Amino acid sequence: MIRIGVVGATGYTGGELVRLLSVHPRVQITALVSRSEAGKPIATVLPHLQGLSLPTLSGYDPDALAAQCEVVFLAGETGFAMEHAPQLLTRGLKVIDLSADFRLKSPTVFAEWYGKPHRAPELLQEALYGLPELTPADAYGKARLIATPGCYPTAAGLALAPLMQAGLADPQRIIIDAKSGVSGAGRSRISVEYLFSELNENFKAYGVERHRHTPEIEQTLSQQCGQSVRVRFTPHLVPMTRGILCTAYVPLTQPIRAEHLHALYADYYARQPFVIVRPLGEYPATREVYGSNRCDIGLTVDTRTQTAVIISVIDNLVKGAAGQAIQNMNLMFGLDATTGLPVAGVLP
């Protein structure tokens, strides 16, 4: 059994890690860290975890973690990992970070979009960007530090990778219109705008002028096509808890029939258990991957405007966070990617 620690266990992503890991057949949760709730059983903070045998919440202590665990998931706020990952790596731990700290390769781009200098720039090249369907499988064996992609970059990256790699997209005019459930905001974002009465029966855009996932999406797409990519990315908030749907509009550099595009996608993801390319004419809904680690994709070509329209859905807390982090752990430890991860969604 792989001994696991989760830092930031009482947030939504942390709680989801615990839920998923509690039924994973190859791991044992040996440490749960919460700086604000240390000393309590986790079920007093997250009552949906009642009935499980879990370690009591403890404060953050790298030496204790090194004694208790082989791998540590960091599910805290942005900034925590770049401050603390080095000391965990030094103690021989493997680290899987779920924050944005190690996703961007360039410290300059990081500073530009996150508004502060990176505190561990020396680790940026080493950190493996773990989007398993796009990341070379052989990169996992030697990885000590994995950056789990953001939720939007996961949905957008999987939606666009085959098209980018095929060289069919105009790389400067891609539009990504994304819609997310509210849980992406996390459990510690406590302000009027996240109250139930403000968001229920309400739909809105946010981060319209600038959202931090833009450079991460561009980094992924640029790697796929070998060119510098610019995207217009607009996220929206849907009155639901979980789920992201990403509608991508790609001006085509040459005419292509929908059947060909579909075949391209089907081929690209043929061996990926967590990506389902739905039949032509069928488009996925977020509910179909609720609680699942899948990403489902539907697509068409609008011949009137020569635009490829690609629609992808994920559960932002599973494939967009905790599930993908565990998929990364599976690969890091030589397990099958699907071990312990849900394929079926929870519907209705």
- Between CA 138 and CA 141 the distance in angstroms is 6
Both tokens of 118, joined, read 């990176």
The residue written with tokens 């981060």 in the block is 207
User: Active-site residue 69, yes or no?
Assistant: no
8 Å CB contact between 160 and 227: no
- Residue nearer to a copy of itself on the CB measure, 86 or 273: 273
Distance CA 18, CA 15 (A): 5
- Our CB check for a copy of itself shows the closer of 134 and 317 to be 317
Q: To the nearest whole angstrom, how small is the minimum distance from the Cβ of residue 313 to a copy of itself?
A: 8
Beta bridge partners of 33: 7, 58
Q: How far apart are CA 267 and CA 165, in angstroms?
A: 12
Give residue 4's region: left, alpha or beta (phi > 0; psi -120 to 50).
Answer: beta
Closest CA to 12 of 130, 184, 163, 213: 184
CB of 74 to a copy of itself, least distance (A): 20
Q: How far is the CB of 294 from a copy of itself (least distance, A)?
A: 6
How far CA 186 is from CA of 77, 111, 263, 287, in Å, comes to: 10, 23, 37, 20
**Would strands 307-314 and 244-251 be described as parallel, antiparallel, or unpaired?**
antiparallel
Q: Which of 69, 151, 246, 295 is catalytic?
A: 151
Q: How far is the CB of 249 from a copy of itself (least distance, A)?
A: 5
Comparing CB distances to a copy of itself, the nearer of 127 and 323 is 323
241 sits in which H/E element: none
Nearest approach, Cβ of residue 144 and a copy of itself (Å)? 30
Q: Which amino acid is at 232?
A: R
Residue 316 or residue 328: which is nearer to a copy of itself going by CB?
316
Closest to a copy of itself by CB, 165 or 247: 247
**Catalytic annotation, residues:** 151
